[in-house]
Chain A
Amino acid sequence: MSEKLLEIKDLYVSAGEKEILKGMNLSIGKGEVHVIMGPNGSGKTTTANAIFNHPEYQKIKGSISLEGEDITNSKTDEIARKGVFMSFQLPEEIPGVSVTNFLKYAKNKITGKNVKIFEFKNELQKNMDELGIPKEAVDRSLNVGFSGGEKKKNEILQMLMLNPKLAILDETDSGLDVDAIRTVSKGIQMYKNENNAVLIITHNTKILKSLKVDYVHILVDGKIVKTGSAALATEIENEGYAKYKG
């Protein structure tokens, strides 16, 4: 058994009156690739938000820990600095802040020290080349006027630059063309090593093809109802969730 990275225990989460997560359990070890699949509205994005202690979601019960440290009530930015990253289903636009400046600033915050400009630029260039992001793109305002696919690629670029311990990818593959899905997959492979982990939220098995997936979890109505190997994803793709609902 590998070393524990993230541990969610019996988590109940509500937004206002609405109960969303109802006894969620999830355990991710270092070096692992996990996949969460589940019907629309089952609580996948909420799980990611809850890990980041999003202020809109109240934790009614349960706990979340990172490398054994309780982060249930830590602030979002502290959790990020402890090494959690999330690729957003809908990334936000920040007018007037270039991708480069944003990444430099975020990296300073995450690492707690000022990046060395030369190294930073090289690393950025290398990652952009790998992801096929054009040079000019990083001088543009973050996500402003980016196409859906460009936004997703930019999330992967951020993941590579910020190099978290745990990367949560919320439907990063949705709305991407075939080549872009391959690019995102490549980005994940570049990032992945035996000390970090990925949690992929997806409706699609395509992105999983070139990845070595360790666990697939089926989330229905706020709970994990089944955990299996990569084969489970294919089963869902063929048969849907009917078997696991109600």
Chain B
Amino acid sequence: MSKSQIEDINRNIYDIKNEDNYDFKMKKGLTREIIEELSKQKNEPEWMKEFRLKALDVYESLELPTWGPDISELDMNDIATYVRPKSKLNSSWDDVPEDIKKTFDQLGIPDAEKESLAGVGAQYDSEVVYHSMKEELIQQGVIYTDMETAVREYPDVVKEHFMKCVPVYDHKFVALHGAVWSGGSFVYVPKGVKVDIPLQSYFRLNSPESGQFEHTLIIVDEGASLHFIEGCSAPKYNKVNLHAGCVELYVKDNAYLRYSTIENWSKNMFNLNTKKAIVGKNAKMEWVTGSFGSKISMLYPMSILNGENAKTEFTGISFAGKGQNLDNGFKVVHNAKNTSSLVNAKSISKDGGKCTYRSLVRITPNAGGSKSSVSCESLMLDDISISDTIPVNDIETDDVIFSHEAKIGKISDKTIFYLMSRGLSEEDAKAMIVRGFAYPISKELPVEYAVEMNNLINLELEGAIG
């Protein structure tokens, strides 16, 4: 049996695809008319329509990035930007249509909820189809809803924060996002409220040639705390596919936010996502990221430490197999006194896959007394895979403690022999070593996600046998 066939079989569990089944699909390509139509469809206020049109202008004025992986294969005119599923917003699992439910069932959403997660906002194609939240959170004033609803019901908060953290001028795909964004989550945690169970959103792409442009806006007000989990897994298609989501996080003074992500995109995806957090005084922002799948990924979550004593941590892992180029990393701007950042980035590459850790650490002149410690480690499973580190360190004050450490490793034959002498097959031995390598990340995830991540690692590794 050939290698690719085995890979196909192994991905079956996650590559669940429903028949195309939507009542509305946009014309290919982007025009002002399309944007207007989209806005009308969504029943949006005028200001949002104007915002979209302005973003479209910016999109047209910007060039594709000239650095990083080659994305010329991506034909923007070929992407249907808006796909709406048949179902309307549901608050009960029972109301979710059968075929959509089946897909989600296989992804374990009801189970996750059973395990007392606070709420489930699941995005199917571009709209949130399933959404619920625990009563007690509502009583505490926590708002957790889909982005469209937030635009209509909380216009003031949304207007004040929407694409202010990530401005449309950032890069071409952010501008595109601003023009065509659809779906996503909105969370507001009021001052002093500690949400002690993780909130999760689950979305996936399920339509050929459609982009996914979900927008996540989270505001954790002063002294509040939240753990938000975003998980996604996409079915496989032969056509080029684009994901250009946007995540904006506001962590106000003395607040705490952990944002955990497991991404598992199909191997034809261009994952060009933008995530940024603005962190206030004494506040803490933690990123936990597992990046799997996709053809090309350019993903650099960013923390802007704007208040004194603000802290951020990034813990992430990328796994690149055959034909994948994952250009991931982390960016941090220290912009106030005594701020700190701690980065623990890992990557695994196999079968010729490429992982690049691209990072920025910027310490501005007014960030005296700050600390930054970056450690990146890559594991290569064979001789044809590639791993690279491209750090940019822009340190504008002397009063800092800064360290950067990079390690590249391989699985040694000695270690494999040792494990095989304990009864493990060669594949089991490799898988154990890789899971161990990923453990510093998986231990940060809630247990069901850690299990899913280990399953993904096993699936990726099994693809190598053949």
Contact = CB atoms under 8 A, between A and B. Distances in A.
Contacts of A162: 422-423
A52 B420 CA distance: 9
Contact of B435 (A52, A77, A79, A96): A96
B413 interface: yes
Contacts of A79: 421
Contacts of B433: 94, 97
B424 interface: yes
A105 B437 contact: no
Interface string B407-427: 000001111011111111110
Interface residues of B, number: 24
Interface string A86-104: 1010011111110000100
Contacts of A56: 413
A80 B422 contact: yes
A75 B420 contact: yes
Contacts of A77: 420-421, 423-426, 428-429
Interface string A63-82: 00000000000011101110
B437 A109 contact: no
A158 B432 CA distance: 17
Contacts of B420: 52, 75-77, 80
A54 B417 contact: yes
Nearest to B427: A77
B438 interface: yes
B439 A97 contact: yes
A120 B400 CA distance: 50
A92 B416 CA distance: 9
Contacts of A105: 424, 428, 432
B440 interface: yes
B436 interface: yes
A86 B428 CA distance: 19
A85 interface: yes
B424 A109 contact: yes
B429 to A, nearest CB: 8
B439 A106 contact: no
Contacts of A106: 419, 422-424
A76 B428 CA distance: 13
A55 B440 CA distance: 31
Contacts of A158: 422
Interface residues of A, number: 28
A94 B415 contact: yes
Contact of A97 (B417, B423, B426, B436): B436
Nearest to A162: B422
Q: Determine the main DSSP class of A at the interface with B.
A: mixed
A96 B424 contact: no
Contacts of B439: 95-97
Contact of B422 (A54, A75, A93, A110): A110
A163 B426 CA distance: 22
A109 B421 contact: no
Residue of A77, A80, A93, A162 most packed against chain B (CB within 10 A): A77
A141 interface: yes
Given A94-B433, A105-B424, A162-B422, A76 B415 contact: no
Interface string A199-241: 0000000000000000000000000000000000000000000
Nearest to B443: A96
Contacts of B425: 75, 77, 109
Contacts of A52: 417, 420-421
A167 to B, nearest CB: 12
Contacts of A93: 415
Contacts of A97: 432-433, 435-436, 439
A54 B419 CA distance: 12
B454 to A, nearest CB: 11
A88 B428 CA distance: 20
A22 B272 CA distance: 61
Contacts of A109: 422-425, 428
Contact of A96 (B417, B419, B422, B436): B436
A125 B429 CA distance: 25
16 contacts: A52-B420, A54-B417, A55-B413, A75-B420, A76-B417, A76-B420, A77-B425, A77-B426, A85-B421, A92-B412, A93-B415, A94-B419, A96-B437, A105-B424, A105-B432, A109-B424
Given A92-B414, A109-B425, 9 more contacts: A85-B421, A85-B422, A93-B415, A94-B433, A96-B435, A97-B432, A97-B433, A97-B436, A158-B422
Pairs A-B, 5 closest by C-beta atoms: A96-B436, A96-B439, A109-B423, A92-B418, A76-B420
Interface of B: 412-415, 417-426, 428-429, 432-433, 435-440
